[in-house]
A and B are shown apart, each in its own frame.
Chain A
Amino acid sequence: MSAEGVGAPLPRKEDDRLMRGRGQYVGDIRLPGMQDVAFVRSPLAHARIRAIHVPDAYRDRVFTAADLDGVLPIRAVSGLPGFKASEQPVLAIGKVRQVGELVAMCVAPTRAEAEDIAASVVLDLEELPAVHDMLAAREPGSALVHEHWGDNVFLETLVDIDIASALDAPITVSRTISTGRQCMAPIEGRGTVVHLDHRLDQLVVHTASQMPHIVRNGLSECLGIEQGRIRIVSPDVGGGFGYKAILLPEDVALSWLALRLGHPVRWLEDRREHLTANANCREHHYRITAYAERDGRLRGIDCEAIVDSGAYSAYPFSACLEAAQVASILPGPYDFPAYRCRTWSVATNKCPILPYRGVARTGVCFALELVLDAVAREARISPETVREKNLVRPDQMPFENITKKHFDSGDYPQALARALKAVDAEAVRARQRGLEPDGRRIGLGLAIYCEQAAHGTSVYSGWGIPMVPGHEQASARLTPDGGLELRIGAHSHGQGLETTLAQVAHEILGIPVARTRLVHGDTAMTPYSTGSWGSRVMVMAGGAVAAACEALRDRAVRIGAHLLQARPDECRFEGGHVVGPSGDVPLETIARTWYRRPQDLAPDTDPGGLEVTAGYKPRRDSGTFSYAAHAALVAVDPDLGAVEILDYVIVEDGGTLVNPLVVDGQIYGGLAQGVGTALYEEMRFDARGQPLASTFADYLLPGAAEVPMARIDHMETPSPYTRFGQKGIGEGGAIAPPAALANAINDALAPLGVEMLHSPITPRRIVEAVLAARLGSDHAREAA
């Protein structure tokens, strides 16, 4: 490993500008003549629009669906059989189906004035019964979100692999487990600035996006404009987590408005819009049964899973990706012989569900890991024993699990063993036999997951959604002074790609990381890519950058050989130099020769020069499998429900780590969000479908005081399929914490007869459960 290549723990280059407040976000863009947009949004979850009254004074400042001639609704259709398509209008037509749905668009020189205009628009709405609960939504007689469907189900799926063979197991444990609806909460909200570039005849859309090329696909389809007339620029992005992997109606509306008015327009999402109108994720409901032998060996898992998909199918991931994914990933890192899973993606009058870091894995891990602990309690064995009995073993690698997921490599039992040792499970259990001096109860919780990442064509073609990843491409260009420019179509929303991809290039070309620049986030300047999602960029763009740099290196060797008056096969490339039998020549000289002194090149030199676009796909594109064992130690105050995280251990295997510092950062960030899912974050709705939080005073995010300083231990089992053995790890940190913390809380409260099965596990919910258990035991005593 060189000091700057793959594996080097380099501080991130981009942090110099980001930490000094010199990042450039959509909100920093100022264009001459730019005006601001505020939307009139539906105050009701479900209503028929009788009329929209616009004051005469503002007729030329307010636009409704009636104005949007030729603009098509957003459609994210899955090809899975039985999927019912929704049409998400850019501005509401006829009906509104969620609070915050766009009804009218108001434009003014400032946002405050635009809000004044919005406040003057009067909506005449006929309220309809709201579909606010995904379980009730499936009952006959429920109100319908999309009447012509006849029910509220986007998609129902079923897999059954011999569940009948498990039914005679001596241990049967059933639980109802659920995760609350959340709002993923990047510091920067969504935002869009659109202007017309008359010189290039292009609509230039600056939008905080994880996937600029996919946004261009969607915009082109909705607006009926050829792709060449649209340029998407995604500047610095202040966190995405999936929220910025979505084409919003606001993007389409602003684009149409810029075309209509001819001057630049801007919409910057405020926190109320973010919380109440746009960002929703995570709401799962499971009825899950585990069948097991008395020693903890699983015989089978049977599950009915429901996901509240909200009102519309969001572009490009669709309304069914999450629930249908549950069926394929619920088995997690475990090997068992029988399985049944039925899923429903249910439409409700809420914001569309969006894929949040970990996507369905966080919910799946929560359901499975909680039920495994329930099996352990039922069998009177330790939680680690249940896991040891069922984890896929290293000698099984590569391993195909019951749902045909192909595990590339890893040693899962070792991760568990190392986590138990690090958290000192034995000492914790000894301590649990005594009483805590402050009356609290301590508990130890485990959770293990696997994270399929960078999965490609073979996986996504089956979903039939608007976006299927293929080969990833990267361009590499040597500059005339010997520096390097890289171009990729994926985009960073905080991952540190400007550093890590420069490290990949350094590994091949030996060019200092400081002399490599990454161009990304601009459809005009980068190769096509589906973008940054699915923890795919380090595998895919990393592989593509390596491929482009290798091609560049080979060309440099040929030019260098000529300069050294040697044959290319006599030369090798080493440390940024072409080394021949009698001397060496640095890349700077080769670059100068190609660009500035072509007279020195061989007559038959390769005309391709020192700029290469190369494509890449792993040898197998079924995905890398990173994984981790999390162990949490908590103290629970049973009277007030307060949970303190005393210790938190993560043993993570991300294959070859390109930059361990960046990986640690990803894990810490994911952990913070996992703590939010576990203990704090929940967007609740009332029976009329009204979201009950509109500020961060009501929607609780964990802060610095609530997030533990985790101890991270790395294993590095390379993937046999990727360029450097690297695996995708971007989401993993957010997957296991809710399960590990819930299991720890349940371990602490088990002596009180309490089991928490719904996230977030708030103080209030704990107190309710503790009091209910006390009441139950009082009744039991009275009866006896």
Chain B
Amino acid sequence: MKPAPFAWERPADLAALVERLATAPGSVKLIAGGQSLGPMLNLRLVEPDLVLDITGIAELRQARVEDNVLVLGACVTHADIEDGRVPDLTGGALQRVAAAIAYRPVRNRGTIGGSLVHADPAADWLSALTALGAEVEIAGRNGRRTMPVERFVTGALDVALSPGEMLVAIRIPAMPEGAAWGYVKHCAKIGEFAHAIAAVRLEPEAGRCRAVIGAVEGPPLLLADASPLFGGRIGPDFATCFDARTADSVLAASGMTDPVDRHIHVTVLARAVAQAARPVRSLLPEAA
């Protein structure tokens, strides 16, 4: 389990990185925490000609608040979020998600940007950031662009990056006033990849809800308007209105044919809704 030969470079700044990314011959992989790419290199599942280490670029490690939007550099680690070393506008939601990702050694090195770009459907950030309405900021030789996470993740292990582009930051809007948040994942054991994830951001007063069902075959399933899950109306009594049959139909319509899979995902979604209905005091992860 040793990687095939590759060249390794560590560009000093973003401009140099983007330039190298665009002009390097052969296949190129970016490495930050290496928690997915490392094993894939060792197993020779990927054999790039060049690996660009992006951890030396200061901008990618920065976190700041801009107009009620939290901007996290791509190389912010899960542990940075878990430990509160970056600002938070989500009432602790990010922190709780981060704290339940894999194991602490993985969180020490693994980055939020790397997780999103790797786009493993079972990864926490894909579902959580989709539910939070986050956007990604992408840089290339021709400048920058942003897009919502749900458009960025195009499939299992597939994202909307063009050749020569890279993800530089994630932009997470503040949790709306009075919003309720629920995030539950189901693993066979602590630290394992999830078999089912549900994330809900509810605004009972505005009657809005974004719901995400993750750890499915493709990208997370987003219900940008999740009111059908609550009998068409979202109010303060949302928890008692959750309609498991409708959730099951939504999953069936999305192509999830196995009733056992649907049962597990619907159960996890129901528990995320129930969690949103009661304030979470503990910082401990709510893993089912």
Contacts and interface: CB of A to CB of B under 8 A. Distances in A.
Interface of A: 110-112, 115-116, 119, 270-272, 637, 639-640, 642, 680, 694-695, 697, 700, 702-703, 705-706, 762-764, 767-768, 771
B186 A702 contact: no
A112 B2 CA distance: 5
B268 A640 contact: yes
Given A640-B267, A764-B260, A700 B288 contact: no
Contacts of A639: 263-264, 267
B273 to A, nearest CB: 14
Interface stretch (B135-143, B190-198, B249-257): B190-198
A115 B42 CA distance: 11
Interface string B166-202: 0000000000000000000010111111010000000
Contacts of B288: 637, 640, 642
Nearest to A115: B2
B188 A762 contact: yes
A771 B259 contact: yes
Given A271-B1, A639-B267, A763 B44 contact: no
A700 B193 CA distance: 11
Contacts of B268: 640
Contacts of A694: 43
Among all A-B residue pairs, the 10 with the closest Cβ atoms: A112-B2, A270-B1, A705-B190, A639-B267, A115-B2, A706-B189, A768-B260, A111-B2, A640-B186, A640-B288
Name the residue among B1, B44, B191, B267 with the largest chain A CB count within 10 angstroms.
B1
A5 B162 CA distance: 72
A697 B193 contact: yes
Nearest to B47: A119
Query: DSSP class of B's interface residues: helix, strand, loop or mixed?
Result: loop
B5 interface: yes
B5 A116 contact: yes
Nearest to A110: B2
Contact of B3 (A112, A271, A767, A771): A112
A708 to B, nearest CB: 13
B43 A119 contact: no
Given A116-B5, A637-B288, A703-B189, 14 more contacts: A112-B3, A112-B5, A115-B44, A272-B43, A639-B267, A640-B288, A680-B188, A697-B193, A763-B195, A764-B188, A764-B260, A764-B264, A767-B264, A771-B260
Interface string B31-43: 0000000010001
Given A764-B260, A771-B260, A705 B189 contact: yes
A777 to B, nearest CB: 16
A116 B5 CA distance: 8
18 contacts: A112-B5, A115-B2, A115-B4, A116-B5, A119-B44, A637-B288, A639-B267, A640-B186, A640-B288, A680-B189, A700-B188, A700-B192, A705-B190, A763-B186, A763-B188, A764-B188, A764-B264, A771-B263
Interface residues of B, number: 23
A532 B1 CA distance: 30
Contact of B189 (A111, A271, A700): A700
A272 B1 contact: yes
Nearest to B191: A703
Contacts of A115: 1-2, 4, 44
Contacts of A695: 39, 43
A499 B254 CA distance: 62
Interface in B82-108: none
Contacts of B4: 115-116, 119
Contacts of B259: 771
Contacts of A270: 1
B190 A706 contact: yes
Name the residue among B44, B188, B190, B268 with the largest chain A CB count within 10 angstroms.
B188
Name the residue among A270, A639, A680, A700 with the largest chain B CB count within 10 angstroms.
A639
A692 to B, nearest CB: 15
Interface in B122-179: none
A767 B263 contact: yes
Interface in B237-279: 259-260, 263-264, 267-268
Nearest to A272: B1
A768 B189 CA distance: 18
Contacts of A700: 188-189, 192
Contacts of A111: 2
Contacts of A703: 189-191
Contacts of A768: 260
Name the residue among B189, B190, B192, B195 with the largest chain A CB count within 10 angstroms.
B189
A767 B188 CA distance: 12
A733 B259 CA distance: 38
Nearest to B190: A705
B67 to A, nearest CB: 40
A465 B268 CA distance: 53
Given A640-B267, A767-B264, A771-B263, A702 B2 contact: no
A696 to B, nearest CB: 10
Given A116-B5, A272-B1, A767 B260 contact: yes
Contacts of A764: 188, 195, 260, 264
Contacts of A702: 189
A496 B187 CA distance: 35
Contacts of B43: 272, 694-695
A637 B268 CA distance: 12
Nearest to B267: A639
Interface in B65-86: none
Nearest to B186: A640
Nearest to A270: B1
A703 B260 CA distance: 26
Nearest to A760: B188
A680 B3 CA distance: 30
B49 to A, nearest CB: 14
A132 B44 CA distance: 27
Nearest to A704: B190
B268 to A, nearest CB: 7
B178 to A, nearest CB: 28
A115 B5 CA distance: 10
A115 B47 CA distance: 13
Contacts of B39: 695
Contacts of B263: 639, 767, 771
Contacts of B190: 703, 705-706
Contacts of B189: 680, 700, 702-703, 705-706
A695 B1 CA distance: 11
B206 to A, nearest CB: 31
Contacts of A272: 1, 43
